[in-house]
Amino acid sequence: MVFVPGADSQRIGAYDSTVNGAGGRYVKELLRTGRAVAIANYQGTFDRNDIPKNGENARRDWIIQLTKDVSRVVDYLETRDDIDLTKLSYFGSSMGAFMGIAPLTMEKRFEAGVLLVGGAVAWDAKNEVDPTALAPFQTTPVLMINGEFDNVFPLETSSRPLFELMGAEDKTMELYPSSHSVDIRLWVPLVDKWLSDRFGAP
């Protein structure tokens, strides 16, 4: 599994696996399911956060570079004898879920994707890389997990529209009565079962 964190990764500097923020706790819990989880210092996260992010050109460049970084992680995993790329999945949380539409669409080595508390936003990115423009071309099986009362990606105006835009025939949306933070004790077993149904138990 390749993990891309949310926007809180822009506030903590270098990634520290002992820190629960910026996806740290999520990575730990996913590891406990028996899966290998890779996380990297992607463009626009951790201590690579000092980049322009406003304006359509800046956001285009950011999405392109983050997608390239994700593909480099996959390149590395491909060199390892202990990783089975036929079971490779993408996991994006919040910002990583919204921006994850690009790597899920362009990186054909992903066999599945999990998007946690993501959605569509009115973003002035160049249309060719805007996640909402790419979503119809996203055909990788995907599981979206969202909170019914999310105030960052509201259900009816953001997360459900993104789900409906995605071109994947095999797509599932699971909703929980929560805000932008779905209880980890609920979604980890769901993700574990969803991936195990596709790839077998780890």
pLDDT tens-digit readout, 65-114: 999 999 999 999 999 999 999 999 999 999 899 989 999 999 999 999 99
Reported as a single tens digit per residue, the pLDDT across 149-189 is: 999 999 999 999 999 999 999 999 999 999 999 999 999 99
CA distance 11 to 176: 27
pLDDT at 182: 94
| Three-state DSSP state, 93 | strand
Give the residue among 76, 140, 70 at the shortest CA–CA distance from 108: 140
Between 40 and 85, whose confidence is greater? 85
Per this entry, what is the length of the chain? 202
Which backbone phi and psi does 156 adopt, to 5 degrees? -80, -20
* Mean pLDDT of all residues belonging to the chain: 89
Q: What is the CATH number of the domain that holds 80?
A: 3.40.50.1820
**Among 158, 146, 66, which Cα is nearest to 121's?**
158
Number of domains, the chain: 1
- CB under 8 Å to 81, separation ≥6 — which residues? none
Domain enclosing residue 73, as ranges: 2-199
Residue 62 structure tokens: 């950011």
